[in-house]
Structure 1
């Protein structure tokens, strides 16, 4: 495997002027051929500098004279890169040689570079020699490389473990490389039973353990030759160098050498071997080449510095530089100061106007994008109290209300909630979603208008919205006593009567949404965390972000199922068909939470038993209801009512939607149970049964409630069977 390289020894400036003799080819393939080298008669200095260009190859390749030594780079600073074969010897496990190659190279006038090359030996059972002549004396040196395992070989390290290297002396004109093995192949034949040796340009070689793999070594490596012009005259007598150039004796030459090299004088660059090859460098074009502080004037071979008008001095960085005249300092300082102030003020004002205009356009874009115009039209059609209270806030108003979003009172996967105060100090909650579906903006606005019209005590009132931000902001009334979830699972301070009242009022709200609004509303995310409690523990249903408007008797097909695991209707989850019975299921799970005090997902249960709903149904079926009920609400006077509410909850969380009651039916039944509790009927029944008396009739065609010491007379709720209200049946769960 061959190698082509470009040496880094040639400077950029030299490369730019490394031209050939006039009317002579300056390239062979990819390699530049500068004078004193050449490929044709009259183009090279003498036969030692003849380059044979083999143009039958693709691309053409240059060779030294008529030899097989391929040239890959020529630099006019006295170095030449050529390719040389790798010495190799390989053995089988019995110690027999199976492959070998021992290269030999002889040069006429050029020598192998001492500073540019290294002699390298690679192998794990290997040693090799490099041989040659220094004048009339025979030279021989060697290097040994061993290793028992590749684990001990370090990339970049060539000190004897897998790789060793030594320097070669300067002045060698003949080079022979011999590779050998200690023939201890039983340990190393598994990865490479070979020895490799070569002289290589050290800037082009970096040892890695890959070289020890079979086939990992190149067939050729580049090496560096030193060239010079040999003459028995002096350099000046032989007129080796051109104009504006001088002779130079190579520093790494041998003491017997009579060779010379040329270099361009200071301030010139190019090919010093051509008569006019060294050309003046214009130091003033490149600031890095001169030391002038103000004005640079180029002269042949150098440059001069001077100061511009209003300054005095030598104008040099390494000298006195340029000092401004006294009046100039004041004038310049004043002008600069005024200009700077004017520029800063102008830029600031333009930036302010540009930022303000850009922000206004962005707000207008968001307002239209979020359906602002549609919402305005819809609100203008409303003439009730709700529309008067609903407000479209500006972004600046929201920032003022929330004190620039300073007080975060809630955060979740869908967004954050911030507390704020209206100008009249009314507390509000501002909900900022993380994203909005732009494809459903019309639907969002329609639902927003409907929710704005809901004026129920048990619904968190929507006061308005802001559509000037990337996602709409919703402004709700502030309910500050936490969520039902927190009161059940963290505080545990709710009595059974209060729990029953919360469920009855919540069921009333859902019944209203399903059957009493112009277009039925399915909440779609009923859960204890979305039921807020005020200071009187009055429930308020919140978070209508996932709600859907569904025409009467219609089934909503959804492409994406939305809701919360544990509360999600299994029939909706399986079929993607949303009905009002989906809310009934979720409400049933909340009812079970209130009965058991347990979370909707039971993390301490096996995976198949983690659903509270399924766990609850299983307990009812096995007549273990009292075992799963919350001990904090069970007493001798309410067990029968707990059983009946549990029966209602079981109907709500039925797997099949058609078996579930409607929210209106649920609301009526819970209101009836609450009325019985207010009248003490369940307490009476439990006491009567405990005394062995079987009561079948009660005098309760009417109910009395005492609130704040004032009695009020009400009749049983319409549609609710008063006999069924008062009949206390033994609980028998059936499906």
Structure 2
């Protein structure tokens, strides 16, 4: 019997030894300067599977390179399951003869194992003048981008962050496995100052990027590579719960936890707290940083620290538990109150509280939106979240909550313009009801416009008659003229477009989002204007040179709006050159008396056709390349009034009816149609 037990023991020990021998002991773990950890490998029997087999190539003149398809691998990390690869930069250059040289970047990641571009550790940087960068997946269904401009006197030494002047930045869209990066010029012509200069687009890690040591790129500066971080995982068709059930194929080793890979299938492994090493290794890759009851053998200057023994932790916990529970809550409340007071002061609250401005506390808006409950969230994009709220028991408002905005973008003197904006009375402007100053970036509270939809949507659906288009034109002009001429200092919008125009009851038109234009400093308002690439054609060409928006910038944008109203469509294009060419075509058709070539006017009567031609000429005068040559909004109103006269008394009665309507409770379904009153054209 003893011999049988001995034989069984030997057999079991042999079986375990065979299982461990599945991973060859003599595997190469180095390719040039890059370490190749398991589950990756360089020889057929070394990686976890053939999906993790990498190619170590001896390139003449460059030595050994570790390759992932066409990408050169710079580093593999098993601790956070990331891989750093070398990525060529995209560029666009004009030589002294205005000849163009450019390079776009296109990457398709291997399907197995599952890779994706890390949205948390990468961002795109663009350096250059009047350059537009576009990032998109292979299908073009997901995209982001940014635009940089140059003023007449560019001094990079005085710039520190990429806020649009010479340099801009954009985060990578989440979940991409393919990525196309392209650069194009925004301006219509290459200026003399831009000849011989280039624009570059490259990746950096997600830390603040200082551009003060850069110069405007030239031919000699382009063609370099940057680093791109990839996330990778194991078992692309399984999730953690499923993977743990099949221990034979489970990828995580001893003392390692399974972690999901985003919203889809697939998982990665991480060492448990108190352990470090390779969580994928089958041979105890995650080892205790320090074992209890044993002498720590690390070096004296080692930064690792031993965990405190459980008995010590228990004793300390008992000693401080009552004190900690009492104090933690008190400290938390005190810190929140101090932070709110600090933000209130920083945002000019001490000045505004003595003015005619409705100031909401953060607590009031938290209660109004039920703690910003998702059930009250109406829209969410990269720049802000929009919530439904109810104040004073029955007044429905919309709260716009900015996110991830740099404090430096705020207008330091916004308080004065804000007071003017909140106290003006203009029936064609969405009213800003109040502001919360207790947050890092102030929260804006707008009136609710019942039963309204955006002109953008109506244009898309082709639901506007010619009379309605004429009415939109004159009422939008009246709103802009009021803000330009009836306030001191004048308030200009900086982001005039169809999506920021609402048509409410009785076909009354209102312009929205003046609050955001006041909050952001003039030199940074381009950030609002270029958040969506299909809004670029609204931007004043002079602004791309000076970097400053003016009243005449609003006039140019309004000219584009008039053109779109007449053409019956929005210039929804992704290439700025195409929209510019469309504007040129429109201007040429007006000057050459061939307007019928670009406008579908079959349904227009003879009288309406005369009005169309008059408005087209007004649009051309607004679209002049030079701001000094454009019409003032007062002159635009005067000319449009000859086309479509307005009955003031009737309009005032309609405005009063709408004011009464806003006080009534509404359902979320009704509210969704007015999201664009906050500049949210993405909600369409």
TM range (shorter): 0.3 to 0.5
Q: Hey, which of these two has a bigger chunk of helix by percent?
A: 2
Task: With a CA cutoff of 8 Å and minimum separation of 6, indicate the structure with the bigger relative contact order.
Answer: 2
Larger Rg: 1
- The two structures have a TM-score, normalised by structure 1, of 0.42
